[in-house]
């Protein structure tokens, strides 16, 4: 082919770097309300300084860049300075970690659809994206939320959320940012894994239909889906091997090969579960072949352990950094399908 159809070289290489071998993405973009819940769990007051100190702790962890390609930030963090006046975004840039930014304004009740939501934040997004790029962001994230229950997710909820994701993704690419497209089917509920498979397949199918309608360059994006899992309250939880088989089948049915990478959210899975499932997915992909990188973009799955080690105490910073580095190392192995339980003992 003489001429590529698109000429988004910078975006393509950023997307590839985000899902580079042996690395994944840290989602540290909790809104002020969400970080309040995490801090509540460790008895830390939700102040701007505590949020800064906590994120500075993560971004000053020596060596995490070997396992983390990029970090998703919240608006406040992209503008915040470390205690010594260095912009936090500079800490990432100096470590060779790509800064990203959450740009959606959260899930709101969807009119006419009880217990379903639509993610808002498109108003003024073009201008915000331009500013975020100037501040150093090279990719963005938008999370749509779908709920499993009686007659849910509805075709209506899937449709409006996919449409918004596609409008967001097109605006990102226009502004020179790689969109992370995140349609999350929540694991809340007592449904079996089959219900999650159906809901995820329908959601991803509509998402890629809308992305095509909006002219989104699939090589210049990263998909951030849920794994196909049993509901969190299901009596019988599927094994990592079943999760791997149904997740990969679902993705092979719906995600075009042009997409460079798929970075899963952890979605409330425990640390062990989110490690073993990612490892099983990659082991199966090595066996049967998959056209995309399969990695992590974890929030809780990377941060629960360092938060528990930190608890807001200066004296615990080094320990928390060691624990964070260890989680990143373990997940980087799982992301290659080479996780071994002995890796859990290797903390340095």
- CB nearer ligand 13P, residue 260 or residue 267: 267
Of 99, 267, 306, 337, the one binding ligand 13P by CB under 6 A = 267
Residue 137 Cβ vs ligand 13P, minimum distance, rounded to whole Å: 15
**255 in helix, strand or coil?**
coil
* Binding piece for ligand 13P, criterion CB under 6 A, among 153-161, 241-249, 250-258, 293-301: 293-301
Q: Considering the rule CB under 6 A, would residue 104 count as an interface residue with ligand 13P?
A: no
Active-site option among 23, 102, 141, 224: 224
Binding of residue 27 to ligand 13P (CB under 6 A): yes
Which of 107, 259 has the CB closer to ligand 13P? 107
Distance of closest approach, residue 302 Cβ to ligand 13P, in angstroms: 7
Residue 266 lies near ligand 13P (rule: CB under 6 A):
yes
Per CB under 6 A, the segment of 75-83, 105-113, 124-132, 297-305 that binds ligand 13P is 297-305
CA angle 68, 320, 143 (to 5 degrees): 45
Does 199 sit near ligand 13P (CB under 6 A)?
Answer: no
Residues 6 or more apart whose CB falls under 8 angstroms from that of 26 comprise 58, 64, 68, 70, 71, 72, 297, 298, 299, 302, 303, 328
Say how many residues touch ligand 13P, by CB under 6 A.
10
Name which of 90, 92, 81, 70 is nearest 48 in CA terms: 81
Burial class (CB in 10 A: 0-12, 13-18, 19+), 285: buried
Do 138 and 98 meet the contact criterion of CB atoms below 8 Å apart?
A: yes
User: Is residue 182 flagged as an active site residue?
Assistant: yes
Nearest Cα residue to 304 out of 42, 36, 97: 42
- The answer to whether 119 contacts ligand 13P (rule: CB under 6 A) is no
- Residue of this chain nearest to ligand 13P (CB atom): 299
| CB of 292 or CB of 298, closer to ligand 13P | 298
Tell whether residue 299 is a contact of ligand 13P (CB under 6 A).
yes
State the Cα–Cα distance between residues 267 and 286, nearest whole angstrom. 24
CA atoms within 13 A on the CB side of 163: 8
Residue span binding ligand 13P (CB under 6 A) among the ranges 162-170, 202-210, 246-254, 296-304: 296-304
Question: Does the active-site annotation cover 23?
Answer: no
Q: Give SS3 for 131.
A: helix
- 100 counts as binding ligand 13P under rule CB under 6 A: no
Regarding 281 and contact with ligand 13P (CB under 6 A), the answer is no
- φ, ψ dihedrals at 308, nearest 5°: -65, -35
* C-beta of 266 vs 282, nearer to ligand 13P: 266
Choose the binding region for ligand 13P from 44-52, 131-139, 259-267, 286-294 (rule: CB under 6 A). Answer: 259-267
327 binds ligand 13P (CB under 6 A): no
What angle, rounded to 10 degrees, do the helices at 193-213 and 240-254 form? 30
Task: Identify the three-state secondary structure at position 105.
Answer: coil
User: Mind giving me the DSSP string for 110-127?
Assistant: PTT-TT-EEE---TTHHH
- The 10 Å CB-count burial string (b at 16+, else e) for 139-156 is bbbbbbbbbbbeebbbee
Give strand ranges (E) for 188-292. Answer: 222-223, 261-264
* CB of 315 vs ligand 13P, minimal distance in Å: 27
Q: Is 18 in the site for ligand 13P (CB under 6 A)?
A: no
Nearest residue (CB) to ligand 13P, 127 versus 272:
272
Q: Residue 299: count other Cβ atoms within 10 Å of its Cβ.
A: 20
* Under rule CB under 6 A, residue 25 binds ligand 13P: no
Question: CA-to-CA distance for 272 and 227, rounded, in angstroms?
Answer: 14
According to CB under 6 A, which residues from 130 to 189 bind ligand 13P?
Answer: 143, 182
Residues marked as catalytic: 182, 224
Residues that bind ligand 13P (CB under 6 A): 27, 143, 182, 265-267, 298-301
């Amino acid at each position: 082919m003489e001429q590529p159809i698109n000429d988004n070289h910078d975006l393509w290489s950023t997307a590839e770097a985000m899902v580079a071998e042996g690395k994944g993405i840290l989602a540290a973009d909790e809104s002020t309300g969400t970080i309040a819940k995490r801090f509540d769990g460790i008895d830390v007051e939700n102040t701007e300084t505590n949020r800064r100190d906590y994120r500075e702790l993560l971004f000053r962890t020596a060596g995490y860049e070997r396992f983390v390609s990029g970090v998703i930030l919240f608006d406040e963090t992209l503008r915040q300075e470390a205690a010594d006046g260095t912009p936090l975004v500079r800490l990432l840039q100096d470590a060779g970690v790509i800064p990203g930014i959450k740009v959606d304004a959260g899930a709101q009740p969807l009119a006419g659809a009880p217990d379903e939501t639509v993610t808002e934040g498109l108003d003024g997004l073009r201008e915000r994206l331009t500013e975020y790029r100037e501040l150093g962001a090279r990719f963005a994230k938008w999370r749509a939320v779908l709920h499993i229950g009686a007659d849910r997710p509805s075709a209506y909820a899937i449709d409006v959320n996919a449409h918004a994701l596609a409008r967001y993704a097109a605006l990102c690419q226009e502004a020179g940012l790689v969109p992370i497209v995140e349609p999350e089917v929540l694991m809340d509920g007592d449904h079996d894994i089959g219900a999650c498979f159906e809901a995820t397949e329908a959601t991803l199918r509509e998402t890629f239909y809308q992305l095509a309608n909006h002219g989104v360059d699939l090589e210049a994006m990263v998909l951030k889906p849920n794994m196909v899992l049993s509901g969190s309250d299901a009596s019988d939880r599927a094994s990592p091997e079943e999760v791997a088989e149904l997740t990969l089948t679902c993705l092979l049915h719906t995600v075009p090969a042009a997409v460079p990478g798929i970075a899963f959210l952890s979605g409330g899975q425990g640390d062990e579960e989110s490690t073993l499932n990612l490892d099983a997915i990659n082991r199966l992909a090595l066996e049967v072949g998959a056209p995309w990188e399969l990695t992590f973009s974890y929030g809780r799955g990377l941060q629960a352990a360092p938060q528990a080690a930190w608890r807001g105490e200066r004296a615990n910073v080094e320990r928390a950094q060691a624990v964070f580095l260890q989680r990143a190392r373990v997940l980087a192995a799982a992301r290659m399908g080479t996780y071994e339980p002995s890796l859990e003992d290797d903390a340095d």
